[in-house]
Amino acid sequence: MRILSGIQPSGALHIGNYLGAIRQYVALQEGNDAYYFVADFHALTSVRDAATLRKYVSDVLIDLLSLGLDPDRAVLFVQSDVPEVAELTWLLTSVTPMGWLEKCVSYKDKVQQGLPAEHGLFAYPVLQAADILLYDAELVPVGQDQKQHLEITRDVAERFNHVYGGKKKEVFRLPKPYILDSVAVVPGLDGRKMSKSYGNTIEIFDEPAVIRKKVKKFVTDSTPVEAPKDPDADPLFGLFKLFAKEADRDEVERRYREGGIGYGEVKTRLGEALIETFAEARERRAEWVARPERVAAVRAAGAEKARATAREVLERARAACGLG
């Protein structure tokens, strides 16, 4: 199947990004026609420094390669390297009702908080629809929080098909969501969902010493070492079980219930589990960083492949509209 997904370059990738998206990307590149992109156009709504954005884009490309995306099995590219997406966004904008966009959660939340909302945030779902429709995507891996945007993509595609295709032909393929509902909420250092906006993240490629230091800051309660604890209600254990080996997880869970384990020990074991989990990827990343020309070649090849697909779809849409 044709798979498509993108990730914003809005900062260093953290372990929540890995569990919620990247490991699924790696799995889905096997036996599918996978397209994955770094969404730098989308990042313009939050990253306003040019040098910073360029660094973020480069870092995310290298991170994805290091974590297992294979450019021989998946098309890996940068969104802005395919300018066709901007033109398709305008074609889709011309048939998208304002009311659909006004209902989008990201826009509504900002307005309700009294914060200024720019057109980029308002029109974000149309650009996202163009991202998906431009590559004839059949399946789009998304979290539950992005389901609404994919539904809008389908609505926009159906409206375009109706306006310009009619009964004669279907201009755009309707994508289906691949909802990652089995992904647990990844707790951050303060116990809330791990998120850059909360400042509670552990970055995938932090140095081991930094990981150990961050994990020590994990917020816990004052339950003494000897007292039993409920592992199901403890965010620290919730994070530990996502990365620990099965035997270690079972041992720590048993000692939680029986009493006799302190949070300090769990933090230490969590830090080591994280370091071990990403050890090989950290080595691969060092190799990619040392060979920037390889990264540039992967980016260029990915753009060429993505544009070849994009041009076909865009020409189909342009012809339907009467352009060209």
Catalytic residues: 110, 193, 196
- Closest Cα partner for 25 from 69, 80, 63, 59? 69
